[in-house]
Amino acid sequence: MKNFTNILFMFVLITAAKISQAQPCMPDTAFPGTQGILPAELEKTIVNEPYTAIIQYKAPADTNATVAGSMVKVTVDSLRITEVIGLPANFSYACHNANCMVLGGKVGCAKITGTATPAQVGTYPLKVVVKLRGRFPLFGIPIQIPESLQYDTNTRYAIVIGYNTGLKSLQVSSAMVVYPNPSNGHVQITLGSAIKEEGIIEVRDLSGRSVYRAKMEYYDTALNLSHLPKGLYLLEVNAKQGNYRSRLRLD
């Protein structure tokens, strides 16, 4: 009998582990407060890098709702994400369960995944459509509120797609010298003998947007970027011999 109990216990553990692995995300049972959605904003999406974001949401145990023109206190039976509008192409979402549903007072989660292309650089506002099912007392009788009659749309989030610019992890090319740096806008680029053929110079802001583009015909080139706003930029030179990067600050 003891061996059977041990086998049953191991079966339960293995089954639970498989279910956990099959879930796109795990609800955070330590979610603070009685309701809400976290995080406050989504991290930036980097071009050509796999992206993952986890959204945690908690359904209220009760809420106020307008029914037949009157405000009533509703006991929440369930809350469900029915749609995420505005996702870029090649991006999708999946929840901790198949219908993205949680009971009143409980926590659920959604996982957004995708890989952005250079053509998708920009900002994509999202609309998270949420529907709620509940009930309220009328003369002591619980009246059900169908899910289709009570819903909300969360517009807090946006997916921002850009390049890996202005980050500590940026690999700066030692072969390229940019001076003075910081600069008032008049910049000299020197590659020594690293480049022997024509290249392309591109300057990007922190969102990844190209703000300046020109040909580099010689290994030593002067730029006039005085028309750009002050701030931090990424300067790139793309040539047959390779790609070269450097940070540039305009003061």
The reported pLDDT for the residue numbered 113 is 96
* Same domain membership, residue 226 and residue 151: no
Mean pLDDT of 195-213: 77
142 and 92 part of one domain: yes
pLDDT at 173: 58
Q: Specify if 171 maps to a domain.
A: no
Can you read off the two tokens belonging to residue 209?
Answer: 């947007």
Write down the pTM of the prediction.
0.58
Whether 49 and 100 map to the same domain: the answer is: yes
Distance CA 176, CA 183 (A): 16
* Residue 3 placed within a domain: no
> Is residue 12 a part of any domain in this protein?
no
> 4 lies in a domain?
no
- Where among 162, 185, 203 does a domain terminate? 162
Distances, alpha carbon 189 to alpha carbons 8, 121, 124, 179, 206, in Å: 70, 27, 35, 7, 20
CATH of the domain at 142: 2.60.40.10
Res. 18: pLDDT tops 70: no
- Check residue 193 and give its pLDDT: 57
Q: State the pLDDT confidence band at 60, using cuts at 50, 70 and 90.
A: very high
Q: Is residue 16 situated within a structural domain?
A: no
Residues 114 and 197 occupy one common structural domain: no
Handedness of CA 103, 105, 106, 112 (dihedral sign): positive
Number of domains in the chain: 2
Query: Which residues, other chains included, contact 158 with Cβ-Cβ below 8 Å and sequence gap of 6+?
Result: 41, 42, 123, 124, 125, 126
Query: Where in the sequence is the domain holding 242, given as residue range(s)?
Result: 177-250
Q: Are residues 158 and 192 in the same domain?
A: no
> Are both 151 and 200 inside the same structural domain?
no
Tell me if 139 sits within 8 A of 93, measured CB to CB: no
For residues 38 and 148, membership in a common domain is answered with yes
CB-based contact 235:189 (threshold 8 Å): yes
pLDDT at residue 47 in the model: 85
Q: Are 136 and 209 in a shared domain?
A: no
> 156 and 213 share a domain?
no
| Interval 80-130: pLDDT, tens | 999 999 999 999 999 999 999 999 999 999 999 999 988 888 888 999 998
Q: Which of 159, 194, 186 is nearest to 84 (CA)?
A: 159
Residues 150 and 215 in one domain: no
One domain for residues 138 and 209: no
CATH of the domain at 240: 2.60.40.3080
Higher pLDDT, 46 or 102: 102
The verdict on residue 167 lying in a domain is: no
Asked whether the predicted pLDDT for residue 164 surpasses 80, the reply is no
What pLDDT, in 10s, does the model give residues 216-246?
766 778 899 999 998 888 888 876 666 778 8
pLDDT confidence of residue 169 = 41
Q: Where are the alpha helices (DSSP H) in 150-216?
A: none
Which of 12-21, 52-61, 162-171: highest mean pLDDT?
A: 52-61
Tokens found for residue 165: 């610019």
**53 is a domain residue:** yes
Exposure string over 208-224, b if 16+ CB within 10 A, otherwise e: beeebeeebeebebebe
Give the per-residue pLDDT at 53.
92
- Predicted confidence at residue 8, as pLDDT, reads 42
Distance separating alpha carbons of residues 121 and 1, to the nearest angstrom: 63
Question: Would 20 be classed as within a structural domain?
Answer: no
Instruction: Tell me 2's DSSP state.
Output: H
Please, which residues have CB within 8 angstroms of residue 124's CB and are 6 or more apart in sequence?
Answer: 86, 87, 88, 158, 159, 160, 161
Please give the mean pLDDT across all residues of the chain.
79
For residues 114 and 182, membership in a common domain is answered with no
